[in-house]
Homo-oligomer: A and B are copies of this chain.
Amino acid sequence: MSGGVDSMVLLDLLQNSIFSLSVAHANFQLRSIESDADEDFVKNKCLQKQIPFYGKRFDILTHAKMNKCSVQMSARTLRYNWFYHLGKNLHCDCIVLGHNLNDEIETFFLNLSRGTGLKGLLGIPKKVGPILRPLLPFTREQIMLYARSRNLHWREDSSNKESKYFRNVIRHRVVPVLFKVFPNFYQNFSHTLYHLNQYYSLSEQAVQISRIQITVMKKIDPFLWEINTEVLKRFHPINGYLFRLFSPYGFKNLPDLKRLLQAQPGKQLFSKSYRLVSGKNRWLLRQKRI
């Protein structure tokens, strides 16, 4: 729980349910006094409502620097790891998060603008492992309406109001324009997202079938596969197949894979844990020994 409107609505809804609750609050200490005030706010709410509260402070800047990733990515990693860990220790059945339809739309536009490929356009999953996001079908406006009708209190994240982050540009300057011109925007967007996911599943199956077709045999060595490149070469679109078949093994560079497809026997490609060796009409995919 951040203390924002989504999390307060979620708490209000779950409180009236049959589930027994614990609240976790991650304090990233990025907005100094404000961050601490958020923590106090959530803590006090929990005290009032007699719900167990778990707070944790993270030194996110050090983590980001050490792992050479963005502050946002660090926050994400640290938060989710802690949620999993805490959920396990407390024997929770699930971890419930307050993401809504607007978060999903913003993520879509962010990933579209950053060019992260199709997977980034599939939306935020409703359920992954123990994580549930029951507010995902609702817009921020609907959640706000509920919060007001129930007289809930929440804290505004000051960074939300500034157009400082990319996400906020999309939130304040792109989505409202589209919604104004297309009153069914939210509904239509959900519809598109649903279809994208259906197509993704279908394409996943084409890849599975093709994987069976090209894998000649799994040798006695359980870490060695033989791939029939004569069959592989006939797949169309070859780029789509090469990427989807070999990126799970860490081979994500298409030009490299395409060169290997034309290479003399003996040429090799290496990923972190695998080796791909070209032979006559064959590739050998071998897991590296640890």
A residues adjacent to B (C-beta < 8 A)? 109, 112-118, 121, 166, 169-170, 173-174, 177-178, 181-182, 184-185, 187-189, 191-192, 195-203, 205-207, 209, 236-237, 239-241, 243-244
Q: Which 6 A-B pairs have the closest CB atoms?
A: A115-B188, A198-B240, A202-B203, A206-B206, A113-B182, A203-B203
Distance A182 CA – B170 CA, assembled complex (angstroms): 11
Distance A182 CA – B165 CA, assembled complex (angstroms): 11
* Copies of this chain: 2
Distance A251 CA – B115 CA, assembled complex (angstroms): 35
Cβ contact within 8 Å between A173 and B166: no
Cβ contact within 8 Å between A181 and B113: yes
State the Cβ distance, A206 to closest chain B Cβ, in Å: 4
Cβ contact within 8 Å between B196 and A118: yes
* Residue in B115, B177, B185, B196 whose beta carbon sits within 8 Å of that of A191 in the complex: B115
Cβ contact within 8 Å between B182 and A174: no
Cβ contact within 8 Å between A206 and B202: yes
State the Cβ distance, A123 to closest chain B Cβ, in Å: 13
Distance A184 CA – B195 CA, assembled complex (angstroms): 27
State the Cβ distance, A184 to closest chain B Cβ, in Å: 7
* Residue in B192, B201, B206 whose beta carbon sits within 8 Å of that of A115 in the complex: B192
